[in-house]
């Protein structure tokens, strides 16, 4: 095994894993706070990919060509509108079910993801859509003396940097601000939190907004990276991100990122060194194995059952 190939596969896995991790955060936060698997979250990511392309097209029609400016504006606009989607869905579809059975919101989420997928398909057409290449070029890093090198594109670098930054910001919010405290309190005991004067409905709404915003960051960066998307991408990515969230321990923020990275690396190494036909089989088997030995995921808190 050549070191350059090994290094390149590690890079591939890390970049893929980071994008899984960003989306997994949405799953993990919503699960942590209301104990619900938000299956529509993958579709939120898909919507954000479309929004990216649309805002890019709008900016281009104004004749704006400055790449940093475009990037910042598109990122900000996409985050805002996607977050609004997250909030809106919570308001109309999940809040009415707040005190109902555990499975009812799950079914609503499945229904919502069908609705979102088909709404986008009917509005934008079933074609693949593309994004013009904004950042071209890559860093070439020599690995050994034979001239073997690994390539990391600028967009891939950007993905990792932005993901780390947003993780840092999110961790700060959750641990150092009053909003974060309210979130954690609601997570632990919703009734008690509301007795103490926390508007839990508002907190839950904010969690949906944060989750959607993280999915939007992933949506912008990943679409820039692959250059194309269609209305179907939410499903496959959503399942993988959900797997990542559970792998890391659902409810735990660093767990989501860790789960994403492990999943990304596992897929990349298995596809690269064994067989890409069976990479998903390997990824899911790994998940089952890890959960057998650590039933609450890698960083999850074991559930304490009270009698």
Measured CA to CA in angstroms, residue 231 lies from 126, 160, 239, 260 at distances of 7, 25, 15, 22
Buried b (16+ CB within 10 A) or exposed e, 233-272: bbeebbebbbbbbbbbbbbbbbbbbbbbbbbbbbbbbbbb
Counting contacts by CB under 8 A, is residue 66 touching another protein?
no
Q: Given candidates 70, 73, 106, 194, which one binds another protein under the rule CB under 8 A? A: 106
Q: Tell the smallest beta-carbon distance from residue 121 to another protein (Å).
A: 7
Q: Given candidates 66, 118, 171, 177, which one binds another protein under the rule CB under 8 A? A: 118
Contact positions with another protein (CB under 8 A) in 6-45: 8-9, 12-13, 15-16, 31, 35, 37, 39
Q: Given candidates 38, 113, 166, 200, which one binds another protein under the rule CB under 8 A? A: 113
**Alpha-carbon 205 to chain mean position:** 18
Q: Tell the smallest beta-carbon distance from residue 85 to another protein (Å).
A: 6
Counting contacts by CB under 8 A, is residue 138 touching another protein?
yes
Number of residues that bind another protein (CB under 8 A): 106
Burial of 10 (0-12, 13-18, 19+ CB in 10 A): middle
Site string for another protein, 177-206 (x = CB under 8 A): ------------------------------
Tell me the window of 68-76, 157-165, 207-215, 228-236 that interacts with another protein (CB under 8 A).
Answer: 228-236
Q: Which helix or strand (DSSP H or E) is residue 150 part of?
A: strand 149-153
Tell me whether residue 143 or residue 173 sits nearer to another protein (CB atom).
Answer: 143
Q: Tell the smallest beta-carbon distance from residue 96 to another protein (Å).
A: 5
Counting contacts by CB under 8 A, is residue 48 touching another protein?
no
- Give the E-state strand segments of 159-294 in sequence order: 228-229
Tell me the window of 177-185, 192-200, 203-211, 291-299 that interacts with another protein (CB under 8 A).
Answer: 291-299
> Nearest to residue 58, comparing CAs of 137, 131, 151, 140?
131
Tell me whether residue 156 or residue 166 sits nearer to another protein (CB atom).
Answer: 156
**Dihedral angle at the C-alpha atoms of 151, 156, 158, 160, nearest 10 degrees?**
-110
| Tokens 């398909």, located at residue | 121
**Alpha-carbon 46 to chain mean position:** 11
Q: Are 18 and 163 in contact (CB under 8 A)?
A: yes
Contact positions with another protein (CB under 8 A) in 253-272: 267-269, 271-272
**Alpha-carbon 180 to chain mean position:** 20
Q: Given candidates 233, 257, 261, 262, which one binds another protein under the rule CB under 8 A? A: 233
Counting contacts by CB under 8 A, is residue 292 touching another protein?
yes
């Amino acid at each position: 095994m050549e070191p350059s190939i090994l290094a390149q596969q590690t890079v591939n896995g890390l970049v893929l894993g980071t994008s899984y991790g960003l989306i997994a955060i949405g799953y993990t936060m919503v699960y942590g706070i209301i104990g619900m698997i938000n299956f529509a979250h993958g579709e939120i990511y898909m919507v954000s990919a479309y929004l990216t392309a649309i805002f890019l097209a709008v900016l281009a029609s104004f004749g704006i060509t400055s790449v940093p400016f475009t990037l910042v504006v598109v990122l900000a606009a996409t985050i805002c509108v996607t977050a609004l989607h997250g909030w809106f869905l919570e308001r109309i579809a999940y809040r009415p079910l707040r005190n109902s059975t555990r499975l009812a919101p799950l079914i609503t989420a499945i229904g919502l993801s069908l609705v979102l997928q088909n709404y986008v398909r009917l509005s934008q057409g079933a074609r693949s859509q593309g994004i013009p290449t904004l950042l071209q070029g890559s860093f070439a890093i020599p690995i050994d003396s034979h001239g073997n090198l690994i390539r990391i594109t600028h967009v891939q670098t950007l993905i990792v940097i932005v993901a780390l930054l947003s993780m840092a910001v999110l961790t700060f919010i959750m641990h150092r601000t009053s909003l974060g405290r309210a979130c954690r309190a609601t997570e632990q005991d919703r009734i008690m939190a509301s007795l103490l004067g926390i508007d839990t409905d508002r907190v839950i709404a904010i969690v949906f907004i944060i989750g959607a915003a993280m999915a939007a960051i992933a949506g912008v960066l990943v679409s820039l990276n692959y250059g194309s998307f269609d209305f179907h991408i939410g499903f496959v990515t959503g399942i993988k991100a959900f797997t990542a969230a559970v792998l890391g321990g659902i409810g735990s923020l660093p767990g989501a990122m860790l789960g994403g990275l492990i999943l990304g690396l596992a897929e990349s190494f298995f596809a690269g060194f064994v067989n890409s036909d069976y990479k998903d089989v390997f990824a899911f088997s790994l998940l089952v194995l890890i959960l057998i030995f650590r039933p609450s995921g890698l960083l999850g808190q074991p559930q304490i059952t009270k009698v």
